[in-house]
């Protein structure tokens, strides 16, 4: 049991670290001078990303933000559960991570060249945001609703 918990924690940590590493090169989008002009030498506006490298930086940043929100939502929800349910949601989450990664790898497989990384990151971000919404819906499930795990 403890070894499986360590393995789960390591896998979740690896997932966070890999996304964080991808996002570590993402540019800061919030640098604005006092006059309201964006300092283009220090910041990348993802609304105006024009080069492949800029788009990939923005995609990495979006994935990092989505993953951070998912991890916090997951931890908050999991902490409300009893031990049996915590074990179950952990197993579900690990299976979901495998599903997300394989599904996005498959979906972006036909996208070749320089667009492949962007397509993969976009898919990962969308699925991660979708999973966050799913966990939030579980957390908001009304008491007495027999269709909701508690």
Assessment of whether the complete model's pTM goes beyond 0.85: no
For residue 86, which of 3, 5, 144, 147 has the smallest C-alpha distance? 5
Q: What count of Cα atoms within 13 Å lies in the side-chain half-sphere of residue 139? A: 16
Range of the domain at 124: 51-60+86-138
Q: Indicate the DSSP class of residue 27.
A: P
* 21 falls within a domain: no
The helix/strand count (H/E) of the chain reads as: 4, 0
* 25 falls within a domain: no
Tokens of 91: 């197993």
* 109 falls within a domain: yes
* 121 falls within a domain: yes
In the prediction, which pLDDT does 30 show? 40
* 70 falls within a domain: no
* 14 falls within a domain: no
SS3 118: helix
* 145 falls within a domain: no
In the prediction, which pLDDT does 66 show? 98
How far is 26 from 67, CA to CA, in rounded Å?
A: 14
In the prediction, which pLDDT does 113 show? 82
Give Cβ neighbours of residue 46 (< 8 Å, ≥ 6 apart). Answer: 27, 29, 54, 58, 61, 62
In the prediction, which pLDDT does 136 show? 96
User: CB atoms < 10 A from the CB of 81, how many?
Assistant: 16
pLDDT in 10s for each residue of the chain, 150 residues: 444 434 444 444 444 434 434 443 343 334 333 344 444 444 567 888 788 888 899 999 999 999 999 999 999 999 999 999 999 999 999 999 999 999 999 999 887 788 899 999 999 999 999 999 999 999 998 888 887 776
* 91 falls within a domain: yes
């Amino acid at each position: 049991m403890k070894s499986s918990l360590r393995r789960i924690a390591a896998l979740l940590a690896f997932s966070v670290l890999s996304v964080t590493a991808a996002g570590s090169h993402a540019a800061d989008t919030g640098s604005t001078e006092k006059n309201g002009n964006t300092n283009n030498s220090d910041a990348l506006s993802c609304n105006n990303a024009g080069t492949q490298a800029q788009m990939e930086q923005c995609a990495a940043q979006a994935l990092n933000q989505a993953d951070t929100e998912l991890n916090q939502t997951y931890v908050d929800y999991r902490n409300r559960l009893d031990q049996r349910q915590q074990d179950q949601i952990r197993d579900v989450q690990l299976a979901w991570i495998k599903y997300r990664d394989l599904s996005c790898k498959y979906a972006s497989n036909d996208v070749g060249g320089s667009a492949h990384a962007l397509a993969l990151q976009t898919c990962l971000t969308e699925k991660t945001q979708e999973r966050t919404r799913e966990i939030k819906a579980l957390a908001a499930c009304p008491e007495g609703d027999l269709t909701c795990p508690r």
